[in-house]
Structure 1
Amino acid sequence: MLKLGEYQELTILRDTDPGLYLGNAEEDEVLLPHKYKPETFEIGDTITAFVYLDYEERPVATTLKPYVTLNNFGYLHCADVNQYGAFMDWGVQKQLFVPFKEQARPMKVGNWYIVYLYLDEQTQRLVGSSKTNKFLDNSSLEVEKFEEVDILVTHLTDKGANAIVNGKHHGLIYIDDIFEDIRTGDRLKAYIKKIRSDNKIDLVLQPPGYRSIEPNANYVLDELKAAGGFLPLHDKSDPDTIKNELGLSKKSFKKAIGSLYKDKQIIIKEDGIELIAED
């Protein structure tokens, strides 16, 4: 059976005027339109294609890369709205339909939204939903403290940046732990800082605790070298100054320079830190 909304390995069966007909092991066939044909091919070759429904609700294959695949989240642009719902640009020819009942708030043309792609069981059509919370669950977590995870930033608040963790859970990066410019729709690597008793997940963008000392130390060392061997920052510098200059919290900065000092790579002076010249 062809899998709508997913990449799949298909075999080239025959070449026709409309395009290549592809098939799977179950002898299901789907058309890869002429404009997506590879420059060179032979009958019997295997090709990776994405399958969805065309304007006539027929399965069709494409080699274009959609911005979201089945049972995953994407950050999509609203291209049109009519009396039935919204239509999103998702990287393939036919736009993705998001009915009004699946909109967390009324969508507007030109705006961007976090959208979940699923297969409607009644219509067997691919549908989008911006009601992302119903597709996330923190009751049984599949992550652990300090683990590296993939996140999708969903929205920013006064508390921090809300994010989807590994496509499954809710997470939050508190504002005090954000030291770089992040925006809704950003896909980033993050780390589990803490799992609370109610299974809420606290995230950070740098390895937490002692695990962050070494990478931050290397980062400060690189910044020192780029600045000619001296930075006007030290353990008594204003936290906002450190954050603006290096993107680090004062606590992380102090750990980093402490590590560099112990390794005898820097001198900590009253007006800044200085690189020790190599012999």
Structure 2
Amino acid sequence: MLNLGTFQTLNVARQTDHGYYLQNTSHKGDDEVLLPTSLADRELQKGENVRVFLYKDGEERLTATMQQPKITRDSIAFLRVKEVNKIGAFLDWGLDKDLFVPHSEQLDSMNENQSYLVWMYLDEKTDRLVASEKLDHFLDNSEITVEEHEEVNLWIRKKTDLGYKVVINEKYDGLIYHNEFYRDVHYGDKTTGYIKQIRSDNKIDVTLRPIGYDKVEPNAQHILDRLQQVGGYLDLHDKSDPDEIQNRLEMSKKTFKKAIGRLYKKEIIRIEDDGIYLQD
């Protein structure tokens, strides 16, 4: 089948003045789709298989392109608004034709040149690809397949009184509490996190660091990298002010002490009253 909003590998059936007509050889009943010459990144040969993205052009015709969209169907991206008019907003998603966001799918009125987290879906009434800022309509925590301590992909959503709402693996709604942040994050960031807790009501708590003792290793490496950057000495130690450690290393004092303890046991550093030193 030829599915709007997806990448598909199709076969070059024939070439015309307008471009290449492609077909899905595994579904003989499918119609052909045109890959315009202007949207092909190289010259193609009859019988060649080519990976293309399917969308509708400005005249609502099914079209193939070798351009790389910034979002695919049923997924999320952080996209910039190119234009706003009386019917909605139009986003830059990497293709010649902009991606439409109706006013009804905006949380607040979108502004030109600002970027927003959106979900792209196929509007069954119009058979068009459309974006929505209302992510909650597409997330479902009723059947959770991730497990506690599992590494996951995150999109950072809006800030709340408790912390930041996040999208987990583009499937679930989650929350990172304020006390779990050891570095700055911003709306629209894509990052890695870890499932801290799945509650009885299927709400998911997330953290940005690996759970338990495993988190010492990357923090130890972070301290080692900093020591190497500054000539082998840091004026921080187990009696340093927690806020100073947090500001300079983006980690808690407890994590700092565990990390330098690990480096000390490996004889990578020595710990003195005035700070920590790389071993000669």
TM range (shorter): over 0.9
Offset of residue 69 of structure 1: 0.5
Q: Which residue is equivalent to 2:219?
A: 216
Q: How many residues align?
A: 277
Partner residue in 1 for 2:47: 44
Mark the runs of 5 or more structure 2 residues left unpaired by the alignment.
none
Amino acid at match of 2:220: A
1:197 to 200, 225, 233: 200
Amino acid across the alignment from 1:113: Y
Q: Per-residue deviation at 1:163?
A: 1.3
Residue aligned with 2:12, SS: strand
- 1:176 matched to 2:179? The reply is yes
Letter in 1 for 2:11: T
Aligned counterpart, 2:114: 111
| CA–CA distance in structure 2, aligned partners of residues 35 and 121 of structure 1 | 29
SS of aligned partner of 1:136: coil
TM superposition shift of 1:274:
1.6
Percent identity between matched residues is: 49
Gaps of 5+ in 1: none
Residue of structure 2 aligned with 1:91, choices 94, 99, 103: 94
Matched residue, 1:10: 10
CA RMSD of aligned residues (A): 1.6
The verdict on how the C-alpha distance between 1:166 and 1:227 changes in structure 2, with shifts beyond 3 A counting, is same
Structure 1 Cα separation of the partners of residues 269 and 183 of structure 2: 25
Q: Which amino acid aligns with 2:216?
A: I
1:113-161: per-residue Cα shift (whole Å, max 9, x none)? 1111111112211111111111112222121111111111122345333
Q: What residue is the counterpart of 2:134 in the other structure?
A: 131
- Following the alignment from structure 1 to structure 2, what is the Cα–Cα distance between the partners of residues 247 and 28? 56
Q: 1:77 aligns with which of 67, 80, 90?
A: 80
Determine if the alignment matches structure 1 residue 160 to structure 2 residue 169: no
**Number of the residue aligned with 1:56:** 59
Determine the C-alpha separation between the residues in 1 that align with 2:108 and 2:41: 41
C-alpha distance in structure 1 between counterparts of 2:199 and 2:273, whole Å: 40
Rounded Cα–Cα distance in structure 1 between residues aligned with 2:93 and 2:225: 39
Is the CA contact 1:103–1:129 (under 8 Å) kept in the aligned structure 2?
yes
TM-score normalized with structure 1 length = 0.93
